[in-house]
Structure 1
């Protein structure tokens, strides 16, 4: 076979790489039945070594990290609950203060309203009193004016009566005209 290969073009390369079949006769080494026992021993030893390494070194570290994380989460939850309580207390205090402020504002508004009503009533009474005084003064002036007008009416009536009597009779008696006017007015 090497001679046949040497004759073909590019066969020099194949001849150099060619490995004898005797080396490959056993198949894939992990599947070789002659080496099973040693492979199983090494597998068990490797497994035990890895198990001990994991159980003594890696697992405690992982467990401590998980424990720290669990503790941190618990602390964070406790802190969040505390903040929630503080927030609820602050909201309650705010609502209480707001209710008190509203009540106080309503009280102040009612007090101001009452004070303004009292002041308005006082001013109304004072204005009514001044108006009553002015009305009384006006009524007195009206009465005085009426009296003066009546006096003037009397005087005018007496003069008119005197003038009529003088024109009709020629001569007039002033005293008789005054008596006649007084008897008619009364």
Structure 2
């Protein structure tokens, strides 16, 4: 047999397998295959029901609890944010009201100071007006006296030039006074 070729060896090795086909499809082996299938399924069922599924369900419950806690925490934070917004709005309204009160107070104070300044200016203007009227009256009186004096002097000069004999100083002063007043 030492002289056999490689082809013959391959052919001899393939012959025993070629004769029966696939052993899974051989009906004589089905009893043992069904037995082991049932054993494998029962074993798989017990492994899944006792080990894998409880672990998966506990993980799912833990995740559901975590999600519920997160939702509760989010609702709590939302309530806090709404309360903070209400407090912020109240503080903002209070600050606006205070600012308006301060502005009104400042306007009232400015108005009071302005009224005082106007009253002071009116008093100064009235005092200056009275003083000016007094000075004008003095100037007018002085001007009337000056006019009277000039008129008297002029009338004397005219009477002296035209009628030197009829020159009466008292009559001339009386005539000028009646005419000027």
**TM over 0.5, yes or no?**
yes
Normalised by the length of structure 1, the TM-score is 0.89
Q: Shift of the alpha carbon at 1:20?
A: 5.1
Q: What's 1:177 paired with?
A: 172
- Structure 1 portions without partners, runs of 5+: 1-5, 7-11
Q: Does 1:168 align with 2:162?
A: yes
1:14 and 1:115 mapped to 2: Cα distance?
123
1:159 and 1:147 mapped to 2: Cα distance?
18
Normalised by the length of structure 2, the TM-score is 0.92
Q: What's 1:66 paired with?
A: 60
CA RMSD across the alignment = 1.6
Q: Shift of the alpha carbon at 1:13?
A: 2.6
Which runs of 4 or more aligned residues in structure 1 lie more than 4 Å from their structure 2 counterparts after TM superposition?
A: none
Aligned residues: 177
Q: What's 1:87 paired with?
A: 81
Q: What's 1:78 paired with?
A: 72
2:54 and 2:14 mapped to 1: Cα distance?
53
Q: What's 1:104 paired with?
A: 98
2:29 and 2:161 mapped to 1: Cα distance?
181
- Structure 2 portions without partners, runs of 5+: none
Structure having the higher helix fraction is: 2
Q: Shift of the alpha carbon at 1:38?
A: 0.8
Q: Does 1:39 align with 2:14?
A: no
